[in-house]
Amino acid sequence: MRQKKKSKGVCCWSMLALVVLAIVAVILLVVMVKTDEGSGSPGAPVKKYADALKLAMQFFDVQKSGKLEKNQIDWRGDSGLKDGSEAKLDLSKGMYDAGDHMKFGFPMAFTATVLSWAILEYGDQMQVVDQLEPARSSLKWITDYLINAHPSENVLYIQVGNPKLDHSCWNRPEDMTEKRPLRQVNTSAPGTEVAAETAAALASASLVFKSVDSTYASSLLKHAKQLFAFADKYRKSYSISIPEVQSFYNSTGYGDELLWAAGWLYHATGENSYFQFATGKTAETFGNWGNPTWFSWDNKLAGAQVLLSRVSFFGSKDVSNNDVLGKYRETAEAVMCGFLPKSPTATESRTENGLIWVSEWNALQQSVSSAFLAVVYSDYMLTSRTAHISCSGSTFKPSDLRDFAITQANYVLGDNPMQLSYIVGYGDNYPQQVHHRGASIPADENPSCKDGFKWLEADTPNPNIATGALVGGPFLNETYIDVRNNSMQGEPSTYNSALLVGLLSGLVTTSSVVQSFA
């Protein structure tokens, strides 16, 4: 039987099909390349970072005060229920800052700002590993408190509890009986840095909740604007107004908080007045251009420089060409150059094995905060297709910054000389005697203020696991002494946890896409 000859039309359609298939293949290849460069949807999770992120998020639950909802920590219960009552306020929520039962507004607000930033940059990646809702929930636990702590335009309650009384006790938060006095800043006793940081927290959080609860977001923004106006009009350090804070969370200045808050308010509102503030006289006074600084609860300059670089990378032409904005970006790049170990301007503040190390107390704060900023800046470069930064003649790619961040994260997870995970609950080898009152006392005990010290002095593992706690970290010689009363190395904090969550969220998938905050 003879085959029929193929018609000319069939032949042409076959050729067309091949061309279409070729075009589709090219498009798919481009999409794959873009995803590899950080321009696609979140990729597959990196298991070790996903596991660590899930643990780190749980530490916020460990630290919660108030009437607990959907409590995931079986050894924690309600506490601080009457906090704020002396001022007829409900200050029961919020979080204890570290291993004690104090609520310090300055570091708590910073915790909220950083957690908001992490969600805004990496919420899509958090979602991939089911951590977006826990992050929002923990953030709201703090911002509910901060709203209540701001009962009028020029009054902000910045502390619950007496540090000396609190530190003279060793018991569970559920068993507290000591007085819980309040401290406030106001027009007679201003506190520019704490008011500005709280404004930054509420402004950034308003962006987080804008798409899920617009009414709540509007309330957050209203308080943020009022607090910023208060901070700016009555300029005075809270460390001067309230000298007792110098022993705990002493501030070294408020200029960084003003710029940080103005940057967040500009992102939250788009209002030119905040942009002008961030790039005007205050910026020239406090910008410290060209001089890299460490990002911490006390100094937000490096964070402000990276945040305002975002406007330089992605803002409209009428603002992105601003000269002062260029100074923010240049200084942010100087900060990045300091992180990179092969840079001519690399900081010498690091251990022999490459961990950024600045201070014996809470050593991991600077390593984790540096890595977080590096991941964020790397993603800004990727999304804007900025090929490199220049460090005194040497050039470095976005991947170099990400690789640096990975070294810091891996060190924290156990890639260090002691092969010790500094996140409680991660891996097989992590600190067992964390400096944390609630974790150190059996849940079925209710010791008095003084009786609990026997558990501080006990040489046994904590009976409760402070899941996800990031301890203070190693000494410069990369050793760690796992003894409960070693608060220098063994005390965790919520602000370190927020930075860790930001870092892990930036690394948890292979894709890093910068989205608009608006």
**Which residues are annotated as catalytic?**
435
Cβ–Cβ under 8 Å, residues 141 and 74:
no
Helix spans in 270-321 (H): 272-279, 281-286, 301-314, 317-320
**Rounded-to-integer distance, Cα 81 and Cα 128, Å:** 35
- Which tokens go with 393? 């003649």
Spatial CA neighbour of 375 closest among 470, 502, 492, 250? 502
CA neighbours closer than 13 Å in the CB half-sphere of residue 39? 12
**Rounded-to-integer distance, Cα 239 and Cα 236, Å:** 9
CB within 8 Å of 515: residues ≥ 6 apart: 120, 121, 124
**Rounded-to-integer distance, Cα 112 and Cα 22, Å:** 49
Amino acid at 124: D
Amino acid at 84: G
The angle that helices 105-128 and 192-209 make with each other, rounded to 10 degrees, is: 20
**Rounded-to-integer distance, Cα 381 and Cα 377, Å:** 6
The kind and range of the H/E element at 391 are: strand 389-391
